[in-house]
Chain A
């Protein structure tokens, strides 16, 4: 088989980051609204008995592994989802070309990766070490 038109090179990382973006889309869509409501709006607008975000309440919940896993998944998912969308918004706004896209990849994927590692660190801290 021969190609009629010279095909450009395959990309290596985009399928990986697209997968993380998609998984992050599910995570943020399903988990973020209820989370934001409980932490940011429930108490200030008096829509909830008590304050789910109060220090003592939250610290007590934070001892459970499931809660820590929840935060790690939510933070990682939202970062990988949002940075991917931001990359394409900026490309659409004219931030294009190999150098610009490499810079975007470096910064935005860096934020997602280091942010997720940070969340993992706090999720494990005081529990495993």
Chain B
């Protein structure tokens, strides 16, 4: 008698079956969006070198309504990437400063506070304040 083993396969649409899987996929997409912004910022430096009109054209392109609203969506993904990154740091804690790992929510909270502080520092040190 032949016996057939049913082959292993991942369920189709696995990432829609569980909200945590969906959150994971969005987080990964947010990470990829970061690279996209890396290239956009690099392009901004190129336009800056090319002079005022090139730079202004680039900035205006970014601010045309369709691009602007697409940017809002992508910005939301970047924010989700940042928040989930702070959660991951709490959940992994590869480097521990305490004997026992801290509860992940504590680490997450510390990271968010640090994030706010760092963002404020960027506003003042890099962009010269309000």
Q: Using a CB–CB distance below 8 Å, which chain A residues touch chain B?
A: 24-26, 28-41, 43-44, 48-49, 52-55, 57-59, 61-62, 66-67, 70-71, 74-79, 81-86, 88-89, 111-112, 115, 118-119, 122, 125
B109 to chain A, nearest CB (A): 15
Q: B48–A71 contact, CB under 8 A? A: no
Q: A19–B128 Cα gap in the complex (Å)? A: 32
B121 to chain A, nearest CB (A): 9
Q: B68–A44 contact, CB under 8 A? A: yes
Question: Is B75 engaged at the interface, CB distance under 8 Å to the other chain?
Answer: yes
From B42, B78, B115, B128, residue with most partner A Cβ within 10 Å: B42
Q: A31–B71 Cα gap in the complex (Å)? A: 17
Given A49-B130, A82-B38, the answer on whether A122 and B45 have CB atoms closer than 8 Å is: yes
Q: A44–B31 contact, CB under 8 A? A: no
Looking at chain B's contact residues, the main secondary structure is helix
B-side contacts of A43, CB under 8 Å: 63
B38 to chain A, nearest CB (A): 4
> Which of B71, B81, B128 contacts A28, CB < 8 Å?
B81
Looking at chain A's contact residues, the main secondary structure is helix
Q: A57–B82 Cα gap in the complex (Å)? A: 27
Given A36-B37, A53-B59, A122-B46, the answer on whether A30 and B82 have CB atoms closer than 8 Å is: yes
Q: B114–A33 contact, CB under 8 A? A: no
A-side contacts of B1, CB under 8 Å: none
A-side contacts of B41, CB under 8 Å: 35, 71, 74-75, 78, 119
Q: A66–B122 Cα gap in the complex (Å)? A: 11
B-side contacts of A55, CB under 8 Å: 48, 52, 55-56, 59
Per-residue CB contact flags for chain B residues 11-40 toward chain A (1 = under 8 Å, else 0) read 000000000000000001101111111110
Q: A36–B48 contact, CB under 8 A? A: no
Q: A33–B79 contact, CB under 8 A? A: yes
B-side contacts of A122, CB under 8 Å: 42, 45-46, 48-49
- 8 A-B Cβ contacts within 8 A? A25-B31, A25-B85, A32-B37, A34-B123, A35-B126, A40-B75, A61-B126, A89-B29
Question: Is B8 engaged at the interface, CB distance under 8 Å to the other chain?
Answer: no
Q: B114–A30 contact, CB under 8 A? A: yes
B-side contacts of A28, CB under 8 Å: 31, 34, 78, 81-82, 85
